[in-house]
Amino acid sequence: MKRVLAPLVVLAALLLGGWAWRCFPILPANEVADAATFRVRRGPLDIVIRESGTLKSREQVVIKNELEGRTTLIFLIPEGTRVKEGDLLAELDASRLVDQQADQISKVREAEAAHVRARETLEVVKLQVQSDVEQQELQKTFADEDLKNYLDGEYPNVLHEAEARIAIAEEELQRNTDRAKWSRVLFGEKYLSETELLADDLAQKRSGLEVQLAKDRLKLLKEFTYARRVADLKGRVRQGELTLEKMKRKGKSDILQAEADLKSKEADLDRAKDKLKKLEEQIAKARIVAPKEGLVVYATSVQTNWRGNVDPLAEGQDIRERQDLIYLPAPGAMAAQLSIQEAMLSKAHTGLSARIKVDALPGQNFEGVLDRISPLPDAHRMFMNADIKVYPSEVFLSGNAEGLRNGMSCQVEIAVTSYDNVLQAPLQVVVRHKGRPAVIVRAGAGFAPQEVEVGLDDGVMVHLIKGVREGQEILLAPAYESTVEPEANGLGPKSGPGSAAALAQPPIPENHAVAEAAPPPGHAREERSGSTEGQAAKGKGEKRRRFENMTPEQREEMLRNLTPEQREALRARRERAAGGGERAPAGE
């Protein structure tokens, strides 16, 4: 039983010891001498954002290529020329547009002829419709009059005539009847011959037939001829009305069609004229003249892309539409274009004062104000490295800007705040302990973590608000790993210079020969096999000794000289090393 418990007790002791060192690591006395330290000091601290920038004019006229498509630059005024209003700055190849203009003039003339034909056709159609409608109205009027004439004139006359014929025929019949009667009496008395009697009888019969025929004609007139004639005349009136309505509608349709054709030809003419006008305007824009007096600056001289500077502007180049060609800056008003790193955004805001140092004018300082911070990061820088995000910004220079020109390089210092007398230490001394900021302070013969409250930093020194005292000795390059995910918690964003992830290691560039901090107990570096690895280890040991021999002021000055790119590169290497379970050396 004892043999079984003994290994378990040893194992439990080892685990308890490892946990104790994880939470309360203390360097033993024999390693304290090798550790680089820094004594907390009190003094002034200026929180400044330092970035490189480029000068440009705040107010400038941008000359663009306004020709559509791509064209060739055939003339370009030399850069740096002082021009007056109306001077020729550049000329673009417009030969293609001139050819198109000649063709378009012919199309305009054809469109004008078609428009005239359509306009005259409309007038002819209107006259024809008017003539047809008037003629049909006349025909309808005749039909109405024919009907009225028959009902009120012709028919009553024919009716009276038929009735008169009947009356006359009846009178004739009565006379012939009486005569035939007396002829029979006279024939009986032998006064008339039989021939005369037969003639009188025949006259009587003829008169009777005449009466019957007259009555039949009257009946035919009333029952057949009248109804058919009235129906025919009314039909002609109705047909006249329908024909008139049809002609009016057809005439209206013909007029609308002619008007639509005229409008179409007008639209074609307008389009042809507009295109001709546009070509004329494009040809005129091929000659680019100065809208005001100024100094010629090529746009390519101040433009960059992810590969570096763009090709300089020159005659014979292909120019795209809306491409910037020339800048005419206004004298006096200048601005500095710079990029603020993501880690510094929490400190920067518009309205902060700034100091600008121009590389071409050593010894001169210019004052300015941070006027603009882009809401989005620079896409070109993100393309180069997605982990590095910078935000384009502008600082407006105030006062006299004499001697400043577009494209000059400058250094910008944006003043965030200033402390007169505060406790401070290098930024790399702050690490994470149980999710809170801490420093590794001297504790007797070794070192132990001490939680602190930190304030703002300038990328090199950090303001220690609580937790330490002036002169207290702290580990300068702590090899202390946190078991808690880094948070902002007053130490800046999660990534970038000044972040919690970056606080565990000092931002020292590769080209500085400095020493590494002493490794933590239980984490001694393993000697690498091979001649190359051995030489690398020897070189790093040399760096460690040089770093230990530096004074705190020399170390601080060295850290201040780091460029933003070097800090970002070191931060990335430290994060990769932390992700792989090993600490990045201080000298890397």
Both tokens of residue 430? 């702050």
Residue 554 pLDDT: 63
Q: How confident is the model at residue 552 (pLDDT cuts 50, 70, 90)?
A: low
Q: Please say which residue of 285, 315, 330 terminates a domain.
A: 285
Please check the confidence at residue 524 and state whether its pLDDT lies above 50.
no
**Residue pLDDT, tens place only, 438-474:** 999 988 888 889 999 998 887 788 999 998 989 899 9
CATH number, domain containing residue 30 = 2.40.420.20
The H-or-E segment that residue 579 falls in is helix 564-579
Q: Are residue 333 and residue 310 in the same domain, yes or no?
A: yes
Please check the confidence at residue 545 and state whether its pLDDT lies above 70.
no
Q: How confident is the model at residue 20 (pLDDT cuts 50, 70, 90)?
A: very low
Asked, for residue 414, whether it belongs to a domain, the answer is no
Which of 305, 325, 324 minimizes the C-alpha distance to 378? 305
Answer yes or no: are the C-beta atoms of 425 and 464 closer than 8 Å: yes
Q: Are residue 546 and residue 467 in the same domain, yes or no?
A: yes
Both tokens of residue 342? 């993501």
DSSP string, 141-157: HHHHHHHHHIIIIIHHH
Rounded to whole angstroms, the Cα distance separating 119 from 124 reads 9
Residue 496 pLDDT: 38
> Averaged over 367-396, what is the pLDDT?
85
Q: Are residue 101 and residue 88 in the same domain, yes or no?
A: no
pTM (global) more than 0.75:
no
Residue 570 pLDDT: 61
Domains: count for the chain: 3
Domain enclosing residue 344, as ranges: 56-92+294-397
Please check the confidence at residue 159 and state whether its pLDDT lies above 60.
yes
Highest mean pLDDT of the ranges 301-315, 531-545, 554-568:
301-315
Residue 507 pLDDT: 36
Please check the confidence at residue 559 and state whether its pLDDT lies above 70.
no
Asked, for residue 246, whether it belongs to a domain, the answer is yes
Q: Are residue 247 and residue 187 in the same domain, yes or no?
A: yes
Please check the confidence at residue 272 and state whether its pLDDT lies above 60.
yes
The H-or-E segment that residue 195 falls in is helix 194-220
Asked, for residue 461, whether it belongs to a domain, the answer is yes
Please check the confidence at residue 183 and state whether its pLDDT lies above 60.
yes
Residue 540 pLDDT: 52
**Any residues with CB less than 8 A from the CB of 57 and at least 6 apart, and which?**
327, 329, 330, 331, 333, 334, 335, 406
Asked, for residue 342, whether it belongs to a domain, the answer is yes
Q: Of 45-54, 214-223, 510-519, give the lowest mean pLDDT range.
A: 510-519
Q: SS3 sequence, 347-410?
A: CCCCCCEEEEEECCCCCCEEEEEEEEECCCCCHHHHHHCCCCCEEEEEEEECCCCCCCCCCCEE
Q: Are residue 149 and residue 84 in the same domain, yes or no?
A: no
Q: How confident is the model at residue 304 (pLDDT cuts 50, 70, 90)?
A: low
Please check the confidence at residue 2 and state whether its pLDDT lies above 80.
no
CATH number, domain containing residue 232 = 1.10.287.950
Residue of higher predicted confidence among 1 and 121: 121
Q: Of 22-36, 82-96, 237-251, 394-408, give the lowest mean pLDDT range.
A: 22-36
Both tokens of residue 216? 């039949």
Asked, for residue 74, whether it belongs to a domain, the answer is yes
Rounded to whole angstroms, the Cα distance separating 64 from 57 reads 17
Question: What beta strand segments (E) does 196-352 contain?
Answer: 287-289, 294-295, 297-298, 304-305, 308-309, 318-319, 324-329, 334-341
Residue 165 pLDDT: 85
> Averaged over 41-63, what is the pLDDT?
88
Q: How confident is the model at residue 74 (pLDDT cuts 50, 70, 90)?
A: very high
Q: Are residue 310 and residue 333 in the same domain, yes or no?
A: yes
Asked, for residue 183, whether it belongs to a domain, the answer is yes
Please check the confidence at residue 91 and state whether its pLDDT lies above 70.
yes
Q: Are residue 494 and residue 507 in the same domain, yes or no?
A: yes
- CB-side neighbour CA atoms (13 Å) of 491: 27
Residue 433 pLDDT: 86
> Averaged over 519-543, what is the pLDDT?
43
**Residue pLDDT, tens place only, 341-351:** 888 888 889 99
Share of the chain above pLDDT 90, in %: 30
**Angle at CA of residue 27, ends 24 and 33, nearest 5°:** 155
Q: Of 95-109, 126-140, 175-189, 219-233, give the lowest mean pLDDT range.
A: 175-189
Q: Please say which residue of 254, 285, 316 terminates a domain.
A: 285
Residue 13 pLDDT: 45
Please check the confidence at residue 50 and state whether its pLDDT lies above 80.
yes
What does the mean pLDDT of the chain come to? Answer: 77
Asked, for residue 366, whether it belongs to a domain, the answer is yes
Residue 290 pLDDT: 92
Q: Please say which residue of 238, 259, 285 terminates a domain.
A: 285
Residue 267 pLDDT: 94
Please check the confidence at residue 550 and state whether its pLDDT lies above 70.
no
Q: How confident is the model at residue 29 (pLDDT cuts 50, 70, 90)?
A: very low
**Residue pLDDT, tens place only, 415-429:** 999 898 999 999 889
**Residues pairing with 328 in the sheet:** 61
> Averaged over 224-240, what is the pLDDT?
87
Q: Are residue 257 and residue 308 in the same domain, yes or no?
A: no
Residue 127 pLDDT: 93
Q: Are residue 509 and residue 575 in the same domain, yes or no?
A: yes
Q: Are residue 84 and residue 143 in the same domain, yes or no?
A: no
Asked, for residue 13, whether it belongs to a domain, the answer is no
Q: How confident is the model at residue 4 (pLDDT cuts 50, 70, 90)?
A: very low
Q: Are residue 134 and residue 279 in the same domain, yes or no?
A: yes
Please check the confidence at residue 75 and state whether its pLDDT lies above 90.
yes
**Any residues with CB less than 8 A from the CB of 39 and at least 6 apart, and which?**
471, 472, 473, 474, 552
Answer yes or no: are the C-beta atoms of 405 and 302 closer than 8 Å: no
Give the SS3 label for residue 270.
helix
Which of 283, 382, 285, 298 minimizes the C-alpha distance to 341? 382
Q: Are residue 317 and residue 342 in the same domain, yes or no?
A: yes
